[in-house]
Amino acid sequence: MRLDLNVPLKDGVIKDATRIDAVMPTIRYIVKHSGKAILMSHLGRPDGRRDKAFSLAPVAKAISEKLGKGVALAPDCIGEEAEEEADGLSSGGVLLLENLRFHSEEEENDATFAKQLAALGEVYVNDAFGTAHRAHASTVGVPLLLASQRKQTAMGFLMEQETTTWSKVLSAKVPRYMSIGGGKLNEKLKAISTLGSVFDCVFVGGVAYNVIRAALGQQVGASIIAEKNDDTDYVDISKGLLDKNHNLILPSALVIAHSKDGKWADSKTIDSGDDVPDGYAIVDCIFSGEQLAALGSAHAVVGFGPMGIYEEGFNAGTSAILDALKGNPGCFVVFGGGDTSALLEDYPNVTVSTGGGAAITFLAKGKLEALEALKGNRGYFK
């Protein structure tokens, strides 16, 4: 089973188990029907090397607690030890393979690596919607190989639920709105670029707003406008977006603060037309009542990421959008990605998705690499 167990960890402790909870129905189904569940996932970005900080050990423990039975963690995802653990699994047993990304071959969709993974099972189930847009060995190489051997491949319950959810967004009447926030600049700017024709208006916050603001020639202070270990000029890319996209709704006010001893201090609200002083960073994006009123006519609203640094308490911008949508009960609301799931617990009218990048790709193309692989569609990858 390919799952997305890429949960946030701090000092080895899981901070948000949403992605684990999302795949438990599929795991429980296999266990209940006496299947042998061999689970595989990535965690973080270990860059193709073993790193204890990215071990799936805390995840194995969490799944064990939720199942009420032991879940073994294989020392690796391939090799003799992994094969022995898989072969020794009893009916109803669960084995979690160690982090797939300890091997660079995973992201390279290496054929030999895929063959080693495929050798561990007889049936392949993909329940990792969050990684379904990536053509990796575990998401594409393995199912294509097993399909060529006439072995069964299938989607799990979460994958089925997610594709149904996002298909509903595509079929919704207009107007449809999108909000973009959080980090992952490349992903979010891609969403603005590719989904402009799908959504009538786009509310922009988070790091995406920072670079668009800089592209407009406005001061951003110490706000983030680049990705770590990435030389891409996102400000220049944003200039191109502004030329092509005229449906962007930018915040009317900003909450700014400066970092002091690892914490945000001296926060204050300024008009978005004002300069962000040196040493201060944008920590939340606020929209006016007039801007938010547009949500009252929406038939579908999709959100990717929070407007501010919500984990540090800067959630006014995101909460205002969600509160405005409470007044439109007929609107289908979906928020995708792992970075807003904890905040959304207070909004039962919102459907929570486990995939940010995968959802963006699905909305833009109507297809996902992992789903095409499940169909055995080799031609799609040539």
Give the CB-side neighbour count of residue 347, counting CA atoms within 13 A.
24
Q: Which long-range contacts (CB under 8 A, 24 or more apart) does 87-90 make?
A: 89/36, 89/38, 90/36
Tens-place pLDDT, residues 135-165: 999 999 999 999 999 999 999 999 999 999 9
Q: Is the peptide bond before 75 cis (omega within 30 degrees of 0)?
A: no
**For residue 150, what are its two tokens?**
């006439």
Question: pLDDT tens digits for 267-290?
Answer: 999 999 999 999 999 999 999 999
At 342 the pLDDT is 67
341 pLDDT exceeds 80?
A: no
Give me the helix-helix angle, 234-244 and 206-215, nearest 10°: 80
Domain 168-364: CATH superfamily is Phosphoglycerate kinase, N-terminal domain (3.40.50.1260)
In single-letter form, the type of residue at position 345 comes to: E
Quote the percentage of the chain above a pLDDT of 70. Answer: 98
Q: 3-state secondary structure string, 183-234? A: CCHHHHHHHHHHCCCCCCEEEECHHHHHHHHHHCCCCCCCCCCCCCCCCCCH
Name the pTM for this structure: 0.87
Please determine, for residue 376, whether its predicted confidence score (pLDDT) is greater than 90.
no
Q: Which fold has domain 9-155?
A: Rossmann fold (3.40.50)
pLDDT tens, residue by residue, 307-322: 999 889 999 999 999 9
Map out the domains of the chain as residue ranges: 9-155, 168-364
Which two three-digit tokens encode residue 6? 């890429």
Evaluate if residue 209 carries a pLDDT over 80: yes
Q: SS3 for 103?
A: coil
Average pLDDT, the chain: 94
Among 153, 87, 172, 77, CA closest to 115: 77
The confidence score (pLDDT) of residue 339 equals 58
- Checking if the pLDDT of 222 tops 70, the result is yes
Measured between alpha carbons, how far is 124 from 143 in angstroms, rounded to an integer? Answer: 6
Task: Give the single-character DSSP code of 151.
Answer: -
Q: Is 91 exposed, middle or buried (0-12, 13-18, 19+ CB in 10 A)?
A: exposed
Q: Is 168-364 in the same CATH topology as 9-155?
A: yes
For residues 288 and 269, is the Cβ–Cβ distance under 8 A? no
Q: What is the pLDDT of residues 16-36, one digit of tens each?
A: 898 999 999 999 999 999 999
Q: Identify the pLDDT of residue 345.
A: 79
Please report the pLDDT score of residue 69 as a whole number. Answer: 96
pLDDT digits (tens, 9 = 90+) for 166-193: 999 999 999 999 999 998 899 899 999 9
Q: What are phi and psi of 97, to 5 degrees?
A: -75, 150
Cβ atoms of 194 and 241 closer than 8 Å: no
